[in-house]
Amino acid sequence: MAATYQTGLVAEPQLLNTEIITRRATYFVADTNRKDKCVGYLDVFVHQARDIHNVCVYHKQDVNAKLCLTSSPDILCSTKVISHAGRNPVFEESLRLDVQTVDASFKCEIWMLSRVRNYLEDQLLGFALVPLVDIVIGNGKLVQEFSLTSTDMFHTPAGFVHLSLSYAGCSPDVVLISSPKSPHQQWMILEMIMWFLLNLRRLCSQT
């Protein structure tokens, strides 16, 4: 019995859309190389603060703590507001921050929350900076009472904050630790600052 064959147009095999494949592969490479990719995380337990400035005169102030990393200062997390905390707020709260790079510092800010924002905005009472390297070289853990300052340029005492810091993630193979400045170097820096302030004062008095 002879085999019969059907004649006619045969559909061409569907071609792969190489443009879509290339685009997806490019997105995948870009996604894995993103600068904001996390290398670890930092667990922070905020115990308490003490001897902070009391901005409110007639009653005890409401206080909270705001945490961030200097590599991504716009990403903040905050503790609960402690009402009527005064100068010695007790937080006892745990928070976590994603870490994109260990070449940054952890920042803890203590804020007074205004109850009458039409007349007074929230006030920054003080902050503490902790280099992540200090936590890494301490086997990923650091528990300490840190001194608060109210300015960036000079250390202006503004109380203390007790923190427990724990880092988990990738660590650099080599950690560069700057050697502490000698008393002579510190005195030279202080003299330069005093000279600058003195000349600035003279300039202002002449105008």
Q: With CA atoms as reference, report the closest residue to 136 among 92, 93, 78, 177.
A: 177
| pLDDT tens, position by position, 39-68 | 999 999 999 999 999 887 767 899 999 999
Spell out the residues 6+ positions from residue 78 whose beta carbon is closer than 8 angstroms to its own.
Answer: 64, 65, 66, 67
pLDDT surpassing 70 at residue 110: yes
| Predicted confidence (pLDDT) at residue 201 exceeds the cutoff of 90 | no
Is the distance from CB of 112 to CB of 61 less than 8 angstroms?
yes
Is the pLDDT at 186 greater than 80, yes or no? Answer: no
Instruction: Reply yes or no on whether the pLDDT at 154 is more than 50.
Output: yes
Map out the domains of the chain with their CATH numbers. Answer: 40-169 (2.60.40.150)
Residue with the bigger pLDDT between 26 and 113: it is: 113
> The sheet that has 123-131: what strands, in order across it?
72-78, 62-69, 105-113, 123-131, 141-149, 157-169, 40-50, 90-99
Separation of first and last alpha carbons in the chain: 116
Q: What is the DSSP letter of 82?
A: B
Integer Cα distance of 133 and 171 in angstroms? 9
